[in-house]
Amino acid sequence: MDGVHVQQLLSLTTIIHEPDDDHSAKTHYTAIKSFLALYKKAIKQCVFFVGDNCGVNKLAALMSVSLIGCASHRLNLAVKAYTQEHVDELAKIQQLMIKLRTLNQASKLL
């Protein structure tokens, strides 16, 4: 609009409506088709999807559109790989942080 790129949020609703619905590519396809109808758009107008899970990967293949991988997921994988050699130490730190959640325990550090 007026030289400014505008994006619409399609939906934040669940795609599971029927007992036999699941998170498959087919269910996603049906849900997206119904969301787009609200905006008087056709599913053939979709040119790519952003995501990184099996359902979205299959959906992109089903629709013959590009898939743009999720940067957050790739970052998470990189951090896990980087910290892999420190798993035991990180687990101990996590347990300590859980114990320190209460003020009484945290005050013992002072």
Same domain for 35 and 85, yes or no, is no
Same domain for 64 and 42, yes or no, is yes
DSSP 70-84: PHHHHHHHHHHHHHG
User: Average pLDDT in the 44-50 region?
Assistant: 84
Same domain for 64 and 91, yes or no, is no
pLDDT of residue 91: 93
pLDDT at 107 over 80: no
Domain count, the chain: 2
Same domain for 20 and 37, yes or no, is yes
- In terms of residue numbers, what domain contains 80? 71-107
pLDDT at 110 over 70: no
Q: What is the pTM of this model?
A: 0.51
Q: Print burial letters for 50-79: b (CB count within 10 Å at least 16), e (below 16).
A: ebbeebbebbbeebeeebeeeeeeeeeeee
pLDDT at 18 over 80: no
Same domain for 75 and 103, yes or no, is yes
Same domain for 62 and 26, yes or no, is yes
Q: Which two tokens stand for residue 85?
A: 């050699």
Distance CA 71, CA 73 (A): 5
